[in-house]
């Protein structure tokens, strides 16, 4: 077990998602540099939030239906390439990132738009690289062919 994955193995991605939301809100109020989006346009942030929630629920439902783990460091028993997995190899991370974009739009301040980017980089380094390596070991050519057909994010 690598030291840099110790925290990632103990804290699951949804927890980090909530931490990043709190960080976004804190940045908005503590460092209000400039408001990029104002007035009623900020309500457009609801769209990516709802999209992200829907994408996460859809992917989670498939994990349950196919009886495989959703936890990043547990061994997968089923390779999923249907539903949202036809469009992205990581629909749950895409969904959480979309929701963070929505939060940034609702808050509207400059620094908050860094949060979805930081979250995506964090998820890539802490989880996605490991997950894809493990899936390639478990499912071999089927998974590597899938990677050639379907993008990691979108």
Domain boundaries, the chain: 12-149
SS3 74: coil
Rounded Cα distance between 133 and 116, Å, is 24
pLDDT above 50 (res 93)? yes
pLDDT above 90 (res 141)? yes
Single pTM value for the model:
0.92
Q: Which of 18-22, 31-35, 64-68, 111-115 has the lowest average pLDDT?
A: 31-35
pLDDT above 50 (res 1)? no
Q: What is the mean pLDDT of the chain?
A: 93
Q: Report CA-CA distances (Å) from 67 to 62, 76, 80, 109, 148.
A: 8, 9, 11, 41, 25
| Whether the Cβ atoms of residue 77 and residue 137 lie closer than 8 Å to each other | no
């Amino acid at each position: 077990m690598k030291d840099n994955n110790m925290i990632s193995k103990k804290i699951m991605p949804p927890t980090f998602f909530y931490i990043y939301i709190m960080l976004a809100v804190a940045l908005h109020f503590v460092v209000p540099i400039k408001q990029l989006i104002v007035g009623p346009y900020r309500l457009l942030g609801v769209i990516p939030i709802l999209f992200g929630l829907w994408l996460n629920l859809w992917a989670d439902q498939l994990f349950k239906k196919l009886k495989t783990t959703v936890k990043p460091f547990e061994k997968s028993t089923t390779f999923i390439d249907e539903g949202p997995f036809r469009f992205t190899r990581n629909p749950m991370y895409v969904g959480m990132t979309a929701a963070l974009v929505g939060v940034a739009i609702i808050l509207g301040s400059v620094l908050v738009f860094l949060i979805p980017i930081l979250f995506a980089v964090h998820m890539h380094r802490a989880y996605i690289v490991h997950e894809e390596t493990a899936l390639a070991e478990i499912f071999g050519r089927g998974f590597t062919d899938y990677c050639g057909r379907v993008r990691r994010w979108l």
